[in-house]
Each structure stands twice: as structure tokens, then as C-alpha cells.
């Protein structure tokens, strides 16, 4: 910090250090504030007097940290931090340019709370930036997501109402093991008592969540991300197998997770999975992949691809 920084500025800087580096030692705090260790401890005392709980632990692994549930004073952003935050929000949710959007309203509050010199640039960026809408929007309802996360934390079985991409709807009693975000999509990893199998459901397709009185224990050593990767594109009634004449690294960006698992095969790769809607798989997913491929199975997908090919061929007849 500048040597002429005010005590207030140093106190705010101390909060920032404690928030970003739990367990910071008195020496490290002093170095961050540009003061002696004795002065650093004095700033810790000032924060405690102001009602901000700063916990301390002795020993080789001790240090200072903010107490749980600490209510902090307004967070201070630098101009690059504020602009980076606005860019990240718009990149992940193009609709946030609209003040009536849920995230857009929250972003507006953040911008409005920024200091004038920082907030001005952030507001201009938000007002004049344009983002291309996601062709496959999949943003779940915050209340639904919160209910699932709460059930995961409490280890309580839930009854979910679900609508598949095909339009079919059903209810299932599931043990919610984890909520996982993968490439902008939110998934519920669970054990379905309806099918007595591990299932991965899109959270944006969950219509209702009701917590039951039954508890559960997740599998020992569960890796939620790995389990989601393994279960996406599996467990549906129609098997699929597609061979691409291109390396996996080139094909992977065009493969949506529910299409199955991509693996190397010779000089190309193979996509193995399953689907409940072969027609949609053929005309919306496979048709968008810009590489030569061969459909080896199953018969339902081969028939769906043949139908798409026939329709396109008919469009070229005189």
C-alpha cells in the first residue's frame, strides 16, 4: 500500500486480505498493509471493535481469518475488476443487458453501488455491449436450483417433476448426490428409485422439487464431475454409435454432452451413447457436426438419419 494511506484505507485493505487469504499470519498482514506486525495486530483490534469478527489461531498453522457469516462493508472494485465482472456476466447471460432480467437487475445493483469513477465505465459497457443469445439456453430457475442444493446438503431424498427434451413428463423419487455445472449446463446427479439406476438430469428441465423425510448416504469416494461425465448420454432406450472421420480434439467442441461419450478410434473417433428421441438426435445434433461420419447403430438412429438424408436429397431434385 502507499506509505501515506489513511487508517481507514488500511482497515479496508485488511478486510480484503483476510477475506482473500484465510489463515494469513501477522507478518503477512503487516506486509500487505505496509506496516509493522504490531500495527497489523492493532488493525485487527480495530476491526473487532467495529463488530467484524476476526478469529485467530496459534501455532505453526495458525493465523487470522474472518468469522463465519461475517457481514462485510461494501466491497471495493478496481475499474478492471468491475469491467471484467460485467463482461463475464454478459458472456454467460446475454439477457443481462435487460434491466428486467433477474441477473440483469442484480448486475444493475452492483454497478449502482460502485464508486462514480468505476461505475461509469461499467455502466457504459453494459449499456452498449451486445451479446449473441445462446442457441441452446439452459438456465435453471434459481429457486429450483436452491431447493436441490439444499437437499444435497441435507442428504434428503426429493420428489422431482421432470420434462425431457422429447416433451415427456414424469415424477421420480431420487437421492440427490450433487449439482454439477458442466460447460454452462447445470445437472443433477442422483440415484433414481423410479429406474433403480444412476441418472443425470438437466436442472433447467426440473419443474418441481419436494423434499421428503427420507435420508440417504451418497456413495463413498463419489467424484460428482467424473460421475456426470460417465452418465451423460447413457440410460436411454435407443442406443447410438457414430464414427467420425476426424480426430477427437476437432469433433469434441461440436458434441453436446447428452450425445454420449467420445473416444479415439484409429485416426478418427467414435461417439457412443443413447437417446430417447432419435429424430431430434439426427436432425438437430448430428446435422450440425461439420465432419464426415458413419452411423453404425442403433437401428432407430440409422432410420432417423436416413429420413433426414432423404428429405435433403429431395430438396435438390429438379
pLDDT in tens, 292-313: 999 998 999 999 999 999 999 9
pLDDT at residue 94 greater than cutoff 80 = no
Residue 4: pLDDT band with limits 50, 70, 90: low
Kindly report, residue by residue over 95-128, the tens digit of the pLDDT: 777 777 777 888 887 777 776 776 777 777 677 6
pLDDT score recorded for residue 131: 58
Q: 111-125, 162-176, 217-231: which has the highest mean pLDDT?
A: 162-176
Q: Do 280 and 287 contact (CB within 8 A), yes or no?
A: no
Look at residue 163 and tell me whether its pLDDT is greater than 80. yes
The model's pLDDT over 17-59, given as tens digits with 9 standing for 90+, comes to 888 888 899 889 999 898 999 999 999 998 888 788 888 887 6
2-20 burial, b for 16+ CB within 10 Å, e for fewer? eeeeeeeebbbbbbebbee
Supply the pLDDT for residue 266.
Answer: 93
Contacts of 212 (CB under 8 A, 6+ apart): 156, 157, 158, 159, 173
**How far is residue 152's CA from residue 127's CA, in Å, rounded to a whole number?**
38
pLDDT at res. 158: 96
Rounded-to-10 torsion of CA 29, 31, 36, 41? 0
Distance, CA of 22 to CA of 29 (rounded, Å): 11
Which residues in 80-114 are b (16+ Cβ under 10 Å) and which e? eebbebbeebbeebbbbbeeeeebbeebbebbeeb
CB of 183 within 8 A of CB of 258? Answer: no
Amino acid at each position: 500500500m502507499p506509505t501515506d494511506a489513511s487508517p481507514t484505507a488500511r482497515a479496508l485493505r485488511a478486510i480484503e486480505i483476510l477475506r482473500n487469504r484465510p489463515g494469513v499470519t501477522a507478518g503477512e498482514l503487516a506486509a500487505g498493509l505496509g506496516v509493522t506486525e504490531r500495527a497489523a495486530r492493532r488493525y485487527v483490534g480495530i476491526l473487532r471493535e467495529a463488530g467484524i469478527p476476526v478469529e485467530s489461531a496459534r501455532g505453526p498453522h495458525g493465523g487470522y481469518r474472518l468469522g463465519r457469516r461475517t457481514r462485510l462493508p461494501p466491497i471495493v472494485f478496481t475499474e478492471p475488476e468491475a469491467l471484467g465482472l460485467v463482461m463475464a456476466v454478459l458472456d454467460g447471460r446475454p439477457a443481462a443487458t435487460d434491466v428486467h432480467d433477474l441477473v440483469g437487475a442484480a448486475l444493475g445493483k452492483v454497478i449502482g453501488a460502485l464508486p462514480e469513477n468505476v461505475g461509469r465505465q461499467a455502466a457504459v459497457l453494459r449499456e452498449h455491449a451486445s451479446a449473441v443469445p445462446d442457441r441452446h439456453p439452459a438456465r435453471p430457475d434459481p429457486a429450483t436450483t436452491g431447493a436441490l442444493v439444499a437437499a444435497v446438503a441435507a442428504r434428503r431424498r426429493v420428489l422431482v417433476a421432470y420434462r425431457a427434451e422429447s416433451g415427456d413428463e414424469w415424477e421420480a423419487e431420487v437421492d440427490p448426490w450433487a449439482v454439477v455445472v458442466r460447460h454452462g449446463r447445470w445437472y443433477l446427479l442422483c440415484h433414481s428409485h423410479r429406474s433403480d439406476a444412476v441418472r443425470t438430469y438437466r436442472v433447467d428441465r426440473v419443474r418441481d422439487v419436494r423434499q421428503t423425510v427420507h435420508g440417504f448416504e451418497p456413495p463413498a469416494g463419489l467424484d460428482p464431475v467424473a460421475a456426470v461425465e460417465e452418465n451423460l448420454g447413457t440410460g436411454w432406450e435407443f442406443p447410438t454409435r457414430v464414427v467420425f472421420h476426424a480426430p477427437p480434439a476437432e469433433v469434441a467442441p461440436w458434441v453436446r454432452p447428452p450425445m454420449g461419450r467420445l473416444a479415439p478410434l484409429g485416426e478418427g473417433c467414435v461417439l457412443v451413447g443413447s437417446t430417447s428421441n432419435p429424430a431430434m438426435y439426427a436432425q438437430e445434433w448430428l446435422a450440425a457436426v461439420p465432419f464426415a461420419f458413419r452411423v453404425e447403430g442403433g437401428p432407430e438412429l440409422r432410420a432417423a438419419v436416413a429420413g433426414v438424408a432423404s428429405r435433403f436429397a429431395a430438396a435438390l431434385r429438379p
